[in-house]
Amino acid sequence: MPDAFLDGWAALPVWLADLLLFLALLAPAFLLGALVLRGFAIGPLLSALLRRQVWVSVVFVALIAISVGLGAGLIAQERGLRQGTAPAADKFELVVAAPGSEITAMLAAVYLQPSDLPLLDGETYDRIASHERVEIVAPLGFGDSWRDAPVVGTTAEFVAYLSEGLAEGRHFAAEYEAVAGARVPLGVGDAFSPAHGIGDAAEHGAHGDLEYEVVGRMPLTGSPWDRALMVPIESVWSVHGLANGHGPGWDGEIGPPFAPAYFPGTPAALVRADSLAANYGLQAEFSTETTMAFFPGTVLARLHALMGDIRQAMSVLAVITQVLVTAGVLAGLMMLTRLLAKRLALLRALGAPRRFIFALTWSFAVTLISTGAALGLLLGVAATRAISSIITARTDVLVSARLAWPELHLVAGFVSLTAVLALLPAFLTMNRPVIRDLRG
Amino acid sequence: MTTPRGRSLTLRDLEVTGEGGRRILYVPRLQIAAGSAVAVRGPSGAGKTTLLYALAGLVSPAAGRILWDDEDIAPLGEPARAAFRRRTVGFVFQEHLLFEELSAPGNAALAALYTAATERAAIRARAAEQLSRLGLDRSAARRSDSYSGGERQRIAVARALAADPDVILADEPTASLDRANADRLADDLVALARHEGRTLITVSHDPAVHARADRVLDIADGRLAADTAQGAPGAAHA
Amino acid sequence: MTMQTTRRRALALAAGFIAAPALLRAQGDEAIKLRELYAGDNEFSEFARDSEGERITVEGFMAPPLQADSTFFVLTKMPMSVCPFCETEAEWPEDILAIYTRRKYRVVPFNRKIVVRGELELGGYRDPETGFVSLVRLANAQFDYA
């Protein structure tokens, strides 16, 4: 039976399963509502009471909205980060680096975070480059910058692979030509002079009056490479006084093949294998004492899992906050019903059934709860948007925030749970003494 | 003048106790004819309001019977007493006690919110009819707290009549009004009750109310101290 | 079926709306091993041919994925710190299975055994996004620790 149920559930399209789950989570609140409100037309009185206690209601709604927004925002933010960082790493299937931290190497190679990595030598690079299963391999050269944009030395072939076609211009074909990322404020034909180092430590003028000319621009990739200036690796080596990767008698044509003896080293080799199987093969082959081969996707997935764990812990706190806030609001509501006691007693005296008072108080609570929950969703998404745009501005990883099912499920569950909790103040209010309240 | 549709009231050994079993009210025997207008007076704390609440089924008596026609409401549980109030009683309080945020028709037809859907239209129609009879604005857009004190109490009267009750119970309905408005309300209350032959019992210290009643009951120390019939025009059917 | 299993299943069913993958644990008893899909020489077993298009449960290990936040991974016979494709020259070794998950999945350590339940698909298929060609797959799959 569970098998049949599960398989039937799995046979549904994901969106339908999500929708049904959402409805199932919301169903208790609606069933309860139908049951509690059966036979009554509480609308006018409910809105009268809400208007009577408008400021208290606004405060209660705001409290619920903030706590729900926190919970929803956490989920949306985590997903946004996952969905933003993953595509940025998609093109980097396999990275070979000198042994060390996979995370550091990934942050440097994929997300262009400045770091001090040991180098792979020319022999090793040549072994990778000449491997029959390797389709593309590219060295990376870091260290220079122009304003905030890192200048990254690599090959034209890799830029072509990364960009899947330039937005404008052509690939670099000579040593002092460059391709600009989509967010670099330089157009085709502009020239720039690189500084040694990055950020505040950059030494301007260290490279003399060297200038690169921008000959092409990449389309937006949603990754930190959007802020980078890509130049031929040969020029990066040259300006630092190193060999340029080619032996004597080089004809000046940039790019591979490189001569192992004149290869100054690269912190990482970006590898694309000819098949998925080959990626695993190469990873095994280059996991040696002198080389470290890893899938950035796996490293990132592990970081995602870690982030997911932290987010779940925070979500538990957020849920506790939500429940505490709601309990506070319901307790506040009890006091509020005391302010309304005379009017409620009047209704009883006029012949309204106790259940009507029950329905009225419950609807009051559920109106505050559901309004707060709906606003909380919006608030969560708005906050996530704001945070995401800051992250995007700082890291160039395109992080977006959209409302998705998990938040809706959370909020639906919250509404149903608290709709049940709201039965308690409704029950207590229903049993208040009529005569005393009427005289009071 | 229509035939009386109101209910007669018979009390037998009615005893209402307060906290600690202290006796607040004891009425061994009282008979009020259907369709009559009765005023109840007495000093503060004598038990007048308690009597009214007992007649409405708001207070559960310790002993005795409260017979409206043949229906004894004394032993009824709260849901049945609420149903009795809803069906049979129209109540007017000392203060108008309106929902200020609602309009005059909204307040007058309050009962429509908690009665069966089939009766709602009838209640709304009667509420509107009573409001115009009482000379009140029937605008649904105007909040009831924009009306004067006298008007608000008349809205409360329309509310008491909207569910077409057999009995109208009023607790000091003119107490918060000035003389002119008090007289007008006393006139309205009696006229509307008589118009359809409802039984009207009003607790009041206002001579204007006493003057319009068929019969005046004096309550003192929780007992019926005097019972005076008055030859008011168009009075007593019994 | 023992009392305890019955209860476990009932609980699992109750939880089903919220955490469907957790239920796979209860289905672990029926999980088959990867080799049961093959009859040697890249031929599918009778069981595989009979089960084509049905949901089956397979146990194995998740190979480290090449992409984060995706719906694809390779299920291997052995916990894989080394590659499943290396021991043999064959293009399609008989100890792997391509898994396409129902939703984006959370990566699990390569040495934790998992059970995967999904629709068995046989025959060559080229992933339009990665270009990866698989001979046998579980589609619309969910998994949990065994």
pLDDT digits (tens, 9 = 90+) for A325-336: 988 988 988 888
Residue A302 sits at the chain C interface (C-beta within 8 Å): yes
At C114, phi and psi to the nearest 5? -125, 155
Residue A348 sits at the chain B interface (C-beta within 8 Å): yes
CA distance A405 to A402: 10
Cis peptide leading into residue A257 (ω within 30°) = yes
- CA B126 to chain CA centroid, Å, is 17
DSSP string, A285-316: HT-SSS-EEE-HHHHHHHHHHHHHHHHHHHHH
A364 with A330: CB under 8 angstroms?
A: no
CA distance C23 to A9: 12
pLDDT at A198 > cutoff 80? no
pLDDT at A201 > cutoff 80? no
Which parts of chain B have pLDDT scores under 70? 1-4, 232-238
Contact: C83, A82; criterion CB under 8 Å = no
A342 to chain B: which residues are within 8 Å by CB?
A: 97
C98 with C72: CB under 8 angstroms?
A: yes
C27 with C145: CB under 8 angstroms?
A: no
C2-25 residue pLDDT tens: 444 444 444 444 333 344 445 555
* Nearest alpha carbon to residue A88 among A402, A400, A397, A393: A397
pLDDT at A205 > cutoff 90? no
A111 with A226: CB under 8 angstroms?
A: no
For residue B3, the model assigns a pLDDT of: 55
For residue B236, the model assigns a pLDDT of: 41
The alpha-carbon gap from B210 to the nearest alpha carbon of chain A, in Å, equals 24
Mean local confidence (pLDDT), A172-200: 89
CA distance C74 to A281: 14
A47 to chain B: which residues are within 8 Å by CB?
A: 101
For residue C91, the model assigns a pLDDT of: 59
Contact: A40, B113; criterion CB under 8 Å = yes
* Nearest alpha carbon to residue A427 among A355, A347, A367, A365: A355
CA distance A380 to A382: 5
Find the CB nearest B120 among A41, A49, A347.
A41
Contacts of A241 (CB under 8 A, 6+ apart): none
Strand, helix or coil at A138?
strand
In terms of CA atoms, which chain A residue is nearest residue C142?
A: A10
pLDDT at A27 > cutoff 60? yes
For residue C25, the model assigns a pLDDT of: 52
Mean local confidence (pLDDT), A206-219: 86
C21-69 residue pLDDT tens: 455 555 545 788 888 888 877 688 888 888 898 899 999 999 888 889 9
Contact: C85, A7; criterion CB under 8 Å = no
With contact defined as 3+ CB pairs under 8 Å, the chains touching B are A
Contact: C106, A308; criterion CB under 8 Å = yes
- A:B CB pairs within 8 Å: 78
Which residues on adjacent β-strands are paired with residue B223?
A: B220
Q: Tokens for A346?
A: 């009047």
Find the CB nearest A298 among C64, C85, C142.
C64
For residue A58, the model assigns a pLDDT of: 95
Which residues on adjacent β-strands are paired with residue A266?
A: A120
Find the CB nearest A14 among C55, C103, C107.
C103
Q: Return the domain boundaries, chain A.
A: 14-87+303-439, 91-295
* Nearest alpha carbon to residue C97 among C145, C130, C56, C128: C56
CA distance A280 to A106: 17
In terms of CA atoms, which chain A residue is nearest residue C143?
A: A10
pLDDT class of A2 with cuts at 50, 70, 90: low
Mean local confidence (pLDDT), A344-363: 92
Mean local confidence (pLDDT), A171-197: 91
Does the CA dihedral A253-A259-A262-A268 come out positive or negative? positive
A348 to chain B: which residues are within 8 Å by CB?
A: 82
Contact: B99, A45; criterion CB under 8 Å = yes
Interface probe with C: pick from A1, A3, A6, A397, most Cβ of C within 10 Å: A6
Residues of C with CB under 8 A from a CB of A: 9, 12-13, 16-18, 20, 23-24, 26-27, 55, 63-70, 74, 82-86, 91, 102-104, 106-107, 117-118, 130-133, 140, 142
CA A342-A367-B152 angle, to 5 degrees, is: 35
Find the CB nearest A353 among B79, B101, B106.
B79
For residue C109, the model assigns a pLDDT of: 85
At B17, phi and psi to the nearest 5? -115, 155
**Chain B 179-238, CB below 8 Å of chain A: which residues?**
none
B37-94 residue pLDDT tens: 999 999 988 889 999 999 999 988 999 999 999 999 999 998 999 999 999 999 998 8
Find the CB nearest C107 among A89, A90, A298.
A298
CA distance A155 to A153: 7
Residue B56 sits at the chain A interface (C-beta within 8 Å): yes
B163 to chain A: which residues are within 8 Å by CB?
A: 351
C67-121 residue pLDDT tens: 899 999 989 888 865 566 665 555 567 778 899 999 999 888 888 899 999 999 9
DSSP A266: B
pTM of structure: 0.84
pLDDT at A432 > cutoff 50? yes
Contact: A9, C63; criterion CB under 8 Å = no
Mean local confidence (pLDDT), A282-297: 90
CA distance A338 to A429: 8
* Nearest alpha carbon to residue A128 among A274, A271, A260: A271
With contact defined as 3+ CB pairs under 8 Å, the chains touching A are B, C
Residue B145 sits at the chain A interface (C-beta within 8 Å): no
Q: Touch between chain C and chain B (3+ CB pairs, < 8 Å)?
A: no
Residue A276 sits at the chain C interface (C-beta within 8 Å): yes
CA distance A152 to A141: 6
With contact defined as 3+ CB pairs under 8 Å, the chains touching C are A
Contact: B111, A351; criterion CB under 8 Å = yes
A405 to chain C: which residues are within 8 Å by CB?
A: none
CB contact burial A30-50 (16+ within 10 A = b; e otherwise): eebbeebbeebebebbbebbb
Contact: C69, A82; criterion CB under 8 Å = yes
Side by side, which strands form the sheet with B23-32? Answer: B23-32, B9-17, B63-68, B71-72
DSSP B4: P
Contact: A342, B59; criterion CB under 8 Å = no
Mean local confidence (pLDDT), A194-211: 74
Interface probe with A: pick from B50, B101, B124, most Cβ of A within 10 Å: B101
Contact: C69, A86; criterion CB under 8 Å = yes
- In angstroms, the Cα distances linking B61 to B14, B23, B91, C10 are 7, 10, 19, 53
In terms of CA atoms, which chain B residue is nearest residue A53?
A: B101
pLDDT at A7 > cutoff 90? no
Contact: C132, A275; criterion CB under 8 Å = yes
The alpha-carbon gap from B83 to the nearest alpha carbon of chain A, in Å, equals 6
Mean local confidence (pLDDT), A248-253: 82
